[in-house]
């Protein structure tokens, strides 16, 4: 990836700032964009001005800052439609829950939303809000709608929040936002250079990260999946020329360049997104660590401790098996389906069983008990097992192809998995 102090890009960036405490970091972002050679013009919502002054941004960018749609003086300089056309990229950082809702609804009730509606520029946003607001179903819906409308969502990051909460909702750091922007530009240049990769013309849908199953408004059931493997697969698929859709549970990773990200929270949301996208895909990779169970009903209010009771019983119900449901689609709408089997013992035996039971075409089996590999790590090793047709039978005579991939960085492993999946796809199409 490019360093944040990378080469002059000459890109015209319209930096939109909305009313979040993270707005104080937008000043550094404006500076970094300028240092990277971008032309920067800033538009602030009314609320943003309560957190940082237009004068600060004007001093940093050397350009007047726009704050109002109905400003005759500013309109006489560069009218808002002109400004919308001027931008190569609209970058909103921070993007609040309210702004996301207004954009998702297609509203144009202030200068920033009007510009977004009037522009065909690349659209990127870095959401920032309280973790409960980010987890709220309304925000989930809006994030999914915005991703569908072509917005690239960067973050949010997880961790301590200004309000004292801990969880996902922090704006990505300005350096990470800039890096993601420059990487997208590089990826577009590379795509133009190489024109076609081995996966060009193919649509690949990937699930990644954990799911989060609410127990009440502040608690949930989840797991330690970092999303690294799924994101590495998405990045590798994009680099091979595919159109990539990444359905991701809550993780602390930015959406990879050139990838369409659909942020989800629960297994049911991930299932709905997979059911919608899989029939339009050539390849579906289920890399998410989906919670097997969810609370039968999430409590409307915070569950209180009961004095004198030492135990609390939660009733859980099974979540749908997302990948099995994709594999069970009718042949005409069924992509090639690749699943993961993360096990701590008898890895291959369980993987073979999973391949058959879930109706998969290929399974990536890995031993997550090996130190430094698997969950959260940067490296991974895997055995690939795939339905091979009659030509390549495994020594066990069960008509499976087999390839053992040694420990290696997840990015490298991702490419090897994809190349094998592409070979399976070509094999299937030639039959």
Q: Which residues are catalytic?
A: 163
Nearer to ligand C5P, 173 or 292 (CB): 292
What does the alpha-carbon distance between residue 65 and residue 71 come to, in Å, rounded to a whole number? Answer: 12
Residue 340 binds ligand C5P (CB under 6 A): yes
Q: What is the CA radius of gyration of the chain?
A: 23
Straight-line distance from the first to the last Cα atom of the chain, in angstroms, rounded to the nearest whole number: 40
Residue 227 binds ligand C5P (CB under 6 A): no
The CA–CA distances, whole Å, from 199 to 78, 175, 415 equal 43, 31, 11
Which of 93, 288, 327, 418 forms a contact with ligand C5P (CB under 6 A)? 288
Nearer to ligand C5P, 179 or 321 (CB): 321
Nearer to ligand C5P, 32 or 288 (CB): 288
Phi and psi (nearest 5°) for 5?
-100, 30
- What does the per-residue mask of binding to ligand C5P show for 30-69, with x meaning CB under 6 A? ----------------------------------------
Residue 199 binds ligand C5P (CB under 6 A): no
Site for ligand C5P in 314-333 (CB under 6 A): 319, 321-323
Residue 382 binds ligand C5P (CB under 6 A): no
What does the alpha-carbon distance between residue 305 and residue 309 come to, in Å, rounded to a whole number? Answer: 8
Residue 231 binds ligand C5P (CB under 6 A): no
For residue 313, is it left (φ>0), alpha (ψ between -120 and 50) or beta? beta
Residue 110 binds ligand C5P (CB under 6 A): no
Using DSSP's 3-state secondary structure scheme, residue 68 falls into: coil
Residue 207 binds ligand C5P (CB under 6 A): yes
Nearest residue to 251 via CA among 159, 162, 175: 159
Tokens of 34: 């300028």
Only one of the segments 12-20, 39-47, 337-345, 410-418 lies at the binding site for ligand C5P (rule: CB under 6 A); that segment is 337-345
Only one of the segments 140-148, 285-293, 327-335, 417-425 lies at the binding site for ligand C5P (rule: CB under 6 A); that segment is 285-293
Tokens of 371: 């130190």
Residue 421 binds ligand C5P (CB under 6 A): no
Q: Count CB neighbours of 193 within 10 A.
A: 7
Using DSSP's 3-state secondary structure scheme, residue 169 falls into: strand
Residues 54/56/60/64 CA torsion (nearest 10 deg):
30
Nearer to ligand C5P, 151 or 284 (CB): 284
User: What is the closest distance, in whole angstroms, from the C-beta atom of residue 361 to ligand C5P in the complex?
Assistant: 12
Residue with tokens 């159109």: 243
Residues binding ligand C5P (CB under 6 A): 207, 267, 286-288, 290, 319, 321-323, 339-341, 354
């Amino acid at each position: 990836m490019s360093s944040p102090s990378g080469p002059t890009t000459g890109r015209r960036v319209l930096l939109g700032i909305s009313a979040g405490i993270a707005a104080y970091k937008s000043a550094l972002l404006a500076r970094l964009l300028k240092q990277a050679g971008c032309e920067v013009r800033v538009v602030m919502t009314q609320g943003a001005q309560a957190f940082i002054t237009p004068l600060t941004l004007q001093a940093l960018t050397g350009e007047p800052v726009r704050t109002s749609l109905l400003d005759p003086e500013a309109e006489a300089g560069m009218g808002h439609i002109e400004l919308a056309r001027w931008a190569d990229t609209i970058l909103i950082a921070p993007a609040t829950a309210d702004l996301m809702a207004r954009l998702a609804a297609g509203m144009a009730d202030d200068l920033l939303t009007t510009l977004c509606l009037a522009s065909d520029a690349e659209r990127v946003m870095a959401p920032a809000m309280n973790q409960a607001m980010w987890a709220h179903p309304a925000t989930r819906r809006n994030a999914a709608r915005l991703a569908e409308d072509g917005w690239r969502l960067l973050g949010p990051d997880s961790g301590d929040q200004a309000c004292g909460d801990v969880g996902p909702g922090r704006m990505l750091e300005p350096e990470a936002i800039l890096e993601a922007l420059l990487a997208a530009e590089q990826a577009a240049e590379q795509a133009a250079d190489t024109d076609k990769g081995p996966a060009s013309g193919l649509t690949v849908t990937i699930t990644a990260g954990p799911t989060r199953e609410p127990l009440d408004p502040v608690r949930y059931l989840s797991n330690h999946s970092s999303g690294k493997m799924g994101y590495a697969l998405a990045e590798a698929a994009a680099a091979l020329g595919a159109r990539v859709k990444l359905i991701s549970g809550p993780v602390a990773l930015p959406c990879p360049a050139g990838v369409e990200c659909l942020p989800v929270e629960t297994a049911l949301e991930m299932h709905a997104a997979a059911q919608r996208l899989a029939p339009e895909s050539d390849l579906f990779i289920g890399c998410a660590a989906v919670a097997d169970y969810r609370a039968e009903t999430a409590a409307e209010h915070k569950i209180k401790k009961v004095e004198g009771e030492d135990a609390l019983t939660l009733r859980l119900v099974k979540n749908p098996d997302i990948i099995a449901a994709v594999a069970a689609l009718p042949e005409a709408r069924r992509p090639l389906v690749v699943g993961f089997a993360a096990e701590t013992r008898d890895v291959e035996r369980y993987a073979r069983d999973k391949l058959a039971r879930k109706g998969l075409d290929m399974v990536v089996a890995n031993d997550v008990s090996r130190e430094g590999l698997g969950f959260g790590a940067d490296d991974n090793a895997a055995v690939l097992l795939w339905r091979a047709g009659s030509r390549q039978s495994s020594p066990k005579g069960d008509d499976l192809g087999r390839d053992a991939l040694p420990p290696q960085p997840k990015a490298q492993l991702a490419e090897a998995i994809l190349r094998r999946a592409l070979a399976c796809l070509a094999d299937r199409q030639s039959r």
